[in-house]
Chain A
Amino acid sequence: MDADHLWQIVPTDEATDGFVAPFSAPIGNAVDSFSLAVIGSGGAGAMRVGEILLEVAAKAGFHGLMTRAMGPQIRGGEAAALLRIATTPVSSLDDHFDLLIALDWANFNRFAAELPLAPDSVVLADPAEGAVPETIVASGARICPVPFKHLAGTVKGGRTNMVGLGVAASLIGLPAALVASVLAAQLGRKGEAVLISSTAALTLGVEAAAGLPRPPRLAAADLDGAARWNISGNQATGLGALQGGVRFVAAYPITPATEVLEWLAPALEKTGGVLVQAEDELAAINMTIGASFAGTPALTATSGPGLALMVEALGLAVASETPLVVVDVMRGGPSTGIPTKSEQSDLNIALYGLHGDAPHLVLAPNTIIDCLRTTQWAVALAETLQVPAIVLSDQALGQSRAIVAPPDAEPTLAPRLTAPAGAADYHRYALTESGISPMAIPGTPGTAYVADGLEHDPRGAPSAQAGDHVAQLDKRARKLATFDYGDLWADIEGEGETAILVWGSATGPAREAAQRARERGLTVRLVSLRLLLPAQPARLAAALRGVGRVLVVEQSQGRQFHKFLRSYYDLPSEVAVLARPGPLPIRPAEILARLGVWE
């Protein structure tokens, strides 16, 4: 038993609800951020522990996020819940975990690289589950035995993960009453007996925590009473679509995008929209085009392999000037790749995958909650500019959850420019100054036209004439190039001669690294691009004014982002690139170390 522990088991009649009350005096300074991982085999329920902890933290007023690592099995695969709970908003996992709760060691080697530990980390493991893996021992972390299985066995129907939950909640310092209420809410559907046994197992865990070494204490939450959301990136994507006005979705499942579609299915039904399951991605994207042509903002979601199938139809949307949004929740590539892991390697296909000269939009959310705003913006831009927009999310954002403040309402763009009834001598593809020509909606009298992937004249009649081709190419380029995208195009933070250039999920760790650098006296500017196409050279030049050296950070072996930047932008003479592929997330310490080379 660790003599440093300060937990006291409060006698039952003094405790709230019979649980141990939260802690008293701390050792040393409280920390603003606490990271823990819960791992176990399939059926052990590690993910459930993470979900409950995250919800409790949200209700207690903390910020935080949770990512997960899963085995490839459909059911019963090993799983790891990776959490970070903090007193201020966080957008990245930390460099190591303060606490690892191992319900068992099933297939631990699959997760080993995603569970970095430090000497002051605490590892709780069940002696009944065998030897502690070598990599854990080598980390120098403090390893303490907790008999999860034995404790669970003393309760009828007791489960090891509930014991683990009790231990974790106590060590973090989460209010017991909140844990009980979230437990009831999440397990209520499973019946009274399950709730009773879970609560009993939870209590055993809380009691067991009393005898354990204390990890760093989490500072009190800022109980500002402000609302908190608990949301995943894929859910935020779906909500962004709805808020943007999408009321038609064609769906074909693919990991890790399926959840976007499955969230949208009941949501669309409730809000008067429709979702249809398509037979393949080719059908999905073409159905989306049909619905949009018919006048309904439309969207589909897929991953890299699906986007590859959709590329021809995206060209059709460009040529026929049909608005739509495709969300690509990126995963490890190429080809089938690593479906359950994240990577930023679909940038190339999004930028360059359409044949012909086919200007279109490419956007990328850079945090879990930014999935909402960026998807909503993409819908609005697509509708205004009558063009397809590709939204590059990824598995790290999509399948992770965050505790966030509810987002502000977004300003809306002008809706789709449509043609009024009976517009005299209507030309669908008229050569307007902005390049945006009114789009007649079927059902409108007097403006019937044929939308076409063939090159066409302003009326829409097929044309192979040089003059028509040049005019229409110019129209489609002009409408994107001359549009004012405003300040959402990138997040620009901080000042300094050193800048980090980043996009998508690499932004979170970059932000954290920049913050730590500033705390050490290095001024760092961070520029995270949300709008990738069309490129914004004037805006980036302004953002990089005074910057003499740039660190490009990306999760791509082929340096796709760096090459894109070099194609479209002028960069300062001193450029370093931190580029590596998935499946492991980029950590703040890696970025900080690379910045440190310059100091």
Chain B
Amino acid sequence: MNASAPLTAADFKSDLKPIWCPGCGDYSVLQALAKALAELGRPREDIALVSGIGCSSRLPAYTNVYGFHGVHGRALAVAAGLKLARPDLTVLAAGGDGDGLSIGGNHFLHACRRNVDMTYLLMDNQVYGMTKGQASPTTAPDWCESKLTPRGTGVSPVMPLHLALAAGVNFFARGFAGNPNELARLILAGIIHPGFSVIHVLSPCVTFRPEQREWKKAVHAADAEPASVPAEAFARFAADDGFTTGILFAGDRTPFMPSRGGTTSVATIAQGFAA
């Protein structure tokens, strides 16, 4: 590769054909991510993408950066360990609403608290797609199309923005797979913003939630600059309809990164046991 030629989105995609259904929102997310990484300008070997389990979590294999496809719900933990060991790398995590907010909900909460410098693509289609159509934590309580919960879940959905704000998230943006260019901009902004950045992507599932084709009518851009103080954000987004797009919150918390630079030898440490 010519080091001086600008990188393009194609430079960040692998040749593996995705398993996603035609029309899946995740194709756009892949494109937006590749575009954002091209804009970022770092070589692909300095980027790591970690995922869990689900359709969304197949993302790393379709890129050509370093990737880790872990187990269900644990991507944020793997990514945190990765970044803490290698602060020099650009670290991203990706996964769906089930992976991130159900089994992974605890790690999501603590990732927002901890504020390690990494970017999380939360690809939300309000369903478990890979296991063929169960309700997820973001599914409305009266959705009755799942064989597992034929009368609907009857359970209040998680609101990722509010959950994240309550946990102290430092950057929260919402994008829509139907607007990949804007999504690329949001992803890049999240990567550049220091600390834990959540990119909540509304990414329709064409197979199990065909009604989500109406999302393109529901999304609307935020009409203000990002909130920067949690109290202000709580007030502004108290009644958010979940379709507001743009950078919604951008704070200035210091990223979590223990200081390194200790140079004591292990032999010196061992001497401490001498009687």
Chain A residues packing against B (C-beta within 8 Å):
55, 58-59, 227-231, 235, 239, 242-243, 247-248, 250, 267-276, 278-280, 282-284, 286-296, 298, 312-313, 316, 320, 403, 406, 440, 442-454, 461-462
Say whether B82 contacts A294, CB under 8 Å.
yes
Q: How far is the CA of A453 from the CA of B85 in the complex (A)?
A: 21
Say whether B262 contacts A269, CB under 8 Å.
yes
Offer 29 A-B interface pairs, CB within 8 angstroms, sorted by A.
A228-B275, A239-B270, A239-B273, A243-B266, A269-B262, A272-B260, A272-B262, A272-B263, A274-B84, A274-B260, A276-B81, A276-B258, A279-B107, A288-B81, A289-B78, A290-B50, A291-B82, A292-B81, A293-B78, A295-B86, A296-B86, A298-B85, A313-B70, A316-B70, A442-B66, A443-B88, A444-B45, A450-B61, A461-B16
B232 CB–A CB distance under 8 Å: no
Say whether B69 contacts A450, CB under 8 Å.
yes
Q: How far is the CA of A235 from the CA of B274 in the complex (A)?
A: 13
Closest-CB distance, B165 to chain A (whole angstroms): 18
Partner of B81, one of A291, A449, A451: A291
- Nearest opposing residue in chain A for B45, CB measure: A445
From A55, A279, A312, A442, name the one whose CB has the most chain B CB atoms within 10 angstroms: A442
Closest-CB distance, B69 to chain A (whole angstroms): 4
Chain B residues packing against A (C-beta within 8 Å):
16, 43-46, 48, 50, 60-61, 64-71, 74, 77-86, 88-89, 106-107, 109-110, 258-266, 269-270, 273-275
Q: How far is the CA of A317 from the CA of B101 in the complex (A)?
A: 23
Q: How far is the CA of A459 from the CA of B275 in the complex (A)?
A: 53
Q: How far is the CA of A59 from the CA of B82 in the complex (A)?
A: 44
4 A-B pairs with the lowest CB-CB distances in the bound complex, closest first:
A290-B81, A287-B81, A58-B275, A450-B67
Find chain B residues with CB under 8 A from A451 CB.
67-69
Say whether A287 contacts B77, CB under 8 Å.
yes
Say whether A450 contacts B60, CB under 8 Å.
yes
Say whether B275 contacts A403, CB under 8 Å.
yes
Say whether B69 contacts A442, CB under 8 Å.
no
Q: How far is the CA of A268 from the CA of B258 in the complex (A)?
A: 11
Closest-CB distance, A183 to chain B (whole angstroms): 15
Q: How far is the CA of A276 from the CA of B265 in the complex (A)?
A: 21
- Nearest opposing residue in chain B for A446, CB measure: B45
Closest-CB distance, A13 to chain B (whole angstroms): 31
Say whether A312 contacts B81, CB under 8 Å.
no
Find chain B residues with CB under 8 A from A279 CB.
106-107, 109-110
Say whether B269 contacts A242, CB under 8 Å.
yes
Q: How far is the CA of A9 from the CA of B6 in the complex (A)?
A: 90
- Nearest opposing residue in chain B for A242, CB measure: B266
Find chain A residues with CB under 8 A from B109 CB.
279
Closest-CB distance, B220 to chain A (whole angstroms): 35
